[in-house]
Structure 1
Amino acid sequence: MADDNDDGLGSVSGLPDELGIDDDLARADQRATVRVESRRYGKPMTLVEGLDPKAVDLTELASQLKRALAVGGTVEDDRIELQGEHAKRVPDLLRERGFEVA
């Protein structure tokens, strides 16, 4: 997240962009919620909601979660949908990536 005048300093922290501090701060400001819904034919779907799509690349985060869990999923309506019941494992995966989970 570069400043408007593009001086190489982060707009949030004021520190050099290459440190990645602004990305960490953006993640720390996010509070994700994880819940499981029953879908068609009673199949469980784990939903990750509450993340700001302007501050977090939801598609990349979904890819990381899908890879870690070895499941399919998608990003729809500013939420991540993962196939299966993963309410116990997803919060830990999100915390490892710097997110706060409610």
Structure 2
Amino acid sequence: MKQVVAVVKPFLVEKILEGLRLAPLEAVVVREVKGVGKQKSYLDQYADTDYARAFLPKVEVAMWVDDTRVEEVVRKLVEVARTGRMGDGKIWILPADNAERVVSF
């Protein structure tokens, strides 16, 4: 089992979730996060003055995927999320060795 974590622009989330709707995912978690990368920051206007905001709003989509399907899921994720502009996001693939259910049904 692997955990695939994507941090993307907020407007891409619905498109990503729809694109992965039929993907072989075990579980998905979506969180609002803030971060900075090569895009650095951006200027915003507040009370008629420009100021730099250090952290940009992003959304983290964490998915748990069977080892044999990771490449398929990542390929689909990149296909759906890539706009070709700086700041599209990042994807990490992490091992997810142990998982326990909190409640058994």
> TM-score range, shorter-chain basis?
0.3 to 0.5
Structure ranking higher in helix proportion: 1
Higher relative contact order (CA 8 A, sep 6+): 2
Structure ID, larger Rg: 2
Structure ranking higher in strand proportion: 2
TM-score, length-scaled by structure 1: 0.39
TM-score, length-scaled by structure 2: 0.38
